[in-house]
Chains A and B, each alone.
Chain A
């Protein structure tokens, strides 16, 4: 008989106090609504991984796009970048496409 082991992934957020546990065996990210990043949906870091999570504003004009907005500053946000010792993760906020206009 082979025992079925359940994997525990422990997560923390460097910008707020929130902690979490997931049991997904495949690679994944854990997101949460982060008060430290003005209420945006932001990724968490695995416990034991040092890093920073930063918000990046949209670099181009909004040009009629339905973009994600910084809830406090009302500025369009483009992505959240997680910089780790050994790499970088990015979560990009894709605007909603519409049929309106050219």
Chain B
């Protein structure tokens, strides 16, 4: 098994709905960390195992980074927007570029989006759909027009 789709962690939803963790999508700092294909993301893991550098998201041997070009532990999301319109709740941000213009990254398959303010709690994971790499250049995550994640009631 490996990456197969893009999902919101159920533990994240539970902790939000049951006031079990002080997660605030609108005001917290969030990051996107890149991963290779050695992992098998699962939306039903526990809160502890949805956290950055735990469970499948263990950094050693799995995370892809390049110094300050794409930092270990991820690049920060900017321009975050969270809210609902009609019956759709959307979490979004402006596109996330590498920290510099000379990134070298290999075997990038997807990213973990997590709350850097609240105990590195995983929010969702996004599968890019195949292998991606960059050589001495810029790596940019272009978030979908429908957002980083969406919940339709």
Q: Could you tell me which A residues sit within 8 Å of B by CB distance?
A: 27-29, 31, 41, 43, 56, 58-68, 76, 78-79, 82, 84, 86-99, 101-102
Contacts and interface: CB of A to CB of B under 8 A. Distances in A.
Contacts, number: 142
Contact of B150 (A91, A96, A101, A102): A96
A94 B111 contact: yes
Contact residues of B: prevailing secondary structure: strand
Contacts of B3: 60
Contacts of A60: 3-4, 127, 129-130
B126 A78 contact: no
Contact of A94 (B4, B5, B43, B143): B143
B149 A97 contact: yes
B147 A96 contact: yes
6 contacts: A65-B6, A68-B144, A78-B129, A86-B136, A92-B128, A96-B6
Contacts of B127: 60, 65, 95
B137 A65 contact: no
